[in-house]
Amino acid sequence: MNITELTVHELQEKIKNKELTSEQITKAYIDRINEKENDVAAFVTICNDSLEQSKKIDEELNKENNIADGSLKGIPIGIKDNICTKGIKTTCSSKMLENFISPYDATVIEKIKSEQMPILGKLNMDEFAMGSSTENSAIKITHNPWNLNKVPGGSSGGSAAAVAANMVPWALGSDTGGSIREPASFCGVVGLKLTYGLVSRYGLVAFASSLDQIGPITKDVEDSAILLNVIAGHDEKDTTSYDRPKIDYTKSLKNDVKGLKIGVPKEFFGEGISEDVKAKLKESIEVYKSLGAEVEECSLGAVEYALATYYIIACAEASSNLGRFDGIRYGYRAKEFSDLKELYVNSRTEGFGDEVKRRIILGTYVLSSGYYDAYYKKAQKVRTYVKKQFDENFKKYDVLLTPVAPTTAFDIGQKKENPLEMYLADVCTVSINIASVPAISIPCGVGKDGMPIGMQLIGDRFSEEKLLNAAYTFEQKIKFRENYKPGFNK
Ligand code: GLN
């Protein structure tokens, strides 16, 4: 048995039946990380002490004659490096926070610890989650396990690559405009962006607070539902989190989509979307029809404005959120300065990378008194308009089906020098964050280049159960994991 190829629900079974111990599982992952990290470069920090934790957890598990169904005790996890972990560095893959150790755990980390899941390490990302390829990391460039010359997507590229390369059984990422879904699509894994407010953002280093959500990156849909069960819920430390009755999301996986109404917004299939991606999505639509779903073309015209709106709102919020990194309260401080102003300026100049600076400048500009009405205020109006169009569609459809990204994973270096082209990689994902609705990215095949292609299913707010079932039923039918595997081509 190859332990690192198993899904989490398979690992749960093995622990329950005493076929595997937590130590064996964690050891297998640490060995795998040591074997592959040189090639994939997914980790910012590797936590070798997870093995000690596993040994202690095994002592408890040994005493239990009947391990509870659904127990995650002893199953390890990887965490994107913008989620605060007490005692373990949280760098946001930046020079600014290169040595930052949070004095507290994010709420999602408290939840993971209360399940007794050891943390294998912190995963690479674009600096402060700004990017679509993980090339903006100030620490290292992560490579796509399917082809090491390609990007893994971003900003949660370390998380998606680590799951695809079997270096972690599953991981947490964050999604502000596509950062869970696009890397999941590029790496052939499952990424779930949740309804805004379903999961606490407390302890997630803020990029754009009205858009950011933490979510699971997993090998399959069932694992996604399991991890959602762990992290969902109201948190009084995050006033934007909702107080809703607890749901067991695994119960929603029915493997049945008969009568499900699927809308296919035509605007997502226009210019700029590669023929390969279009072809795979058309095949996927046929799969749904054969499973008894009702599929119809629909329209989401406002999506044309979503990318511009996103980059105005996200940059505006980022410029404000990143104001706290001033060389005094957090992180990097310049060595040379003659007064307070120079301390700020030099620390920020030296501590932030190019993309982060670009966003701060753009954000400050759209919020400045002369341009506020023309850009920021208008973007907020368009945001409402986009939301309304989604609402209209969800009166008719249970889910909407679109591509995740216009292409498969691109080459490392291909878009790095052209920020606008990089922003276009988000054209299919940002409107979802603008409308605060949930969406899942699941693999639906591979392109001519042998790289995975993702399908995005979008649901109405708090319709995660419907979304998960729609994704699960498709996955059971096409069995992507069994048919395709990352090649580790050099
Ligand atoms: N790629 C998008 C950006 O650069 C989304 C990032 C994210 O979701 N964190 O802003």
Mean pLDDT along residues 396-424? 95
With 0-12 / 13-18 / 19 or more C-beta atoms within 10 angstroms meaning exposed / middle / buried, residue 14 is middle
Judged against a pLDDT cut of 70, whether residue 399 lies above it is answered with: yes
Does residue 72 have its Cβ closer than 6 Å to ligand 1? no
Q: Which amino acid is at 249?
A: Y
Among 357, 379, 412, 364, residue whose Cα is nearest residue 128: 357
Confidence of residue 330 (pLDDT cuts 50, 70, 90): confident
CA distance 175 to 306: 16
Confidence of residue 490 (pLDDT cuts 50, 70, 90): very low
- Residue 475 lies inside a defined structural domain of this protein: yes
- Residue 405 lies inside a defined structural domain of this protein: yes
Average per-residue pLDDT in the chain? 97
- Residue 146 lies inside a defined structural domain of this protein: yes
Does residue 82 have its Cβ closer than 6 Å to ligand 1? no
Mean pLDDT along residues 72-76? 98
Does residue 405 have its Cβ closer than 6 Å to ligand 1? no
Cβ atoms of 189 and 448 within 8 Å: the answer is no
Instruction: Please give the C-alpha separations between residue 285 and each of 73, 400, 437, 463, in angstroms, as whole numbers.
Output: 39, 11, 22, 20
pLDDT at 487: 76
The residue annotated as part of the active site, out of 16, 36, 73, 80, is: 80
- Condensed to tens digits (0 to 9), the pLDDT of residues 40-65 reads 999 999 999 999 999 999 999 999 98
Instruction: Please give the C-alpha separations between residue 435 and each of 154, 190, 354, 382, in angstroms, as whole numbers.
Output: 21, 21, 29, 10
pLDDT at 34: 97
- Condensed to tens digits (0 to 9), the pLDDT of residues 11-22 reads 999 999 999 999
Higher pLDDT, 346 or 424: 346
Ligand 1 mutation target, pool 125, 130, 134, most atoms within 8 A of CB: 130
- Residue 56 lies inside a defined structural domain of this protein: yes
**Ligand 1 center–CA 270 separation, angstroms:** 22
Judged against a pLDDT cut of 90, whether residue 481 lies above it is answered with: yes
Catalytic residue check, 132: no
- Condensed to tens digits (0 to 9), the pLDDT of residues 217-263 reads 999 999 999 999 999 999 999 999 999 999 999 999 999 999 999 99
- Condensed to tens digits (0 to 9), the pLDDT of residues 190-223 reads 999 999 999 999 999 999 999 999 999 999 999 9
Does residue 356 have its Cβ closer than 6 Å to ligand 1? no
pLDDT at 381: 97
- Residue 341 lies inside a defined structural domain of this protein: no
Of the listed ranges 4-13, 87-96, 286-295, 480-489, the one predicted with least confidence: 480-489
- Residue 359 lies inside a defined structural domain of this protein: no
**Ligand 1 center–CA 130 separation, angstroms:** 5
pTM over 0.85: yes
Judged against a pLDDT cut of 90, whether residue 120 lies above it is answered with: yes
pLDDT at 233: 97
**Ligand 1 center–CA 155 separation, angstroms:** 6
Residue 182 CA: which ligand 1 atom is closest? 1
Bridge partners of 21, per DSSP, are none
Query: What is the extent of the structural domain holding 100?
Result: 3-263+395-489
Bridge partners of 16, per DSSP, are none
The residue annotated as part of the active site, out of 102, 132, 159, 179, is: 179
Catalytic residue check, 241: no
- Residue 230 lies inside a defined structural domain of this protein: yes
Catalytic residue check, 179: yes
Judged against a pLDDT cut of 90, whether residue 397 lies above it is answered with: yes
pLDDT at 489: 52
CA count, 13 A, side-chain hemisphere, 338: 0
CA distance 222 to 25: 19
Does residue 426 have its Cβ closer than 6 Å to ligand 1? yes
| Portion of the chain with pLDDT greater than 90, in percent | 96
* Preceding peptide of 436 cis, ω within 30°: no
pLDDT at 488: 66
Judged against a pLDDT cut of 70, whether residue 373 lies above it is answered with: yes
**Ligand 1 center–CA 490 separation, angstroms:** 27
pLDDT at 65: 87
Number of folded domains in the chain?
A: 1
CA triplet 455, 383, 301: central angle to 5 degrees? Answer: 55
Residue 129 CA: which ligand 1 atom is closest? 9
- Residue 246 lies inside a defined structural domain of this protein: yes
Does residue 179 have its Cβ closer than 6 Å to ligand 1? yes
CATH of the domain at 484: 3.90.1300.10
pLDDT at 280: 98
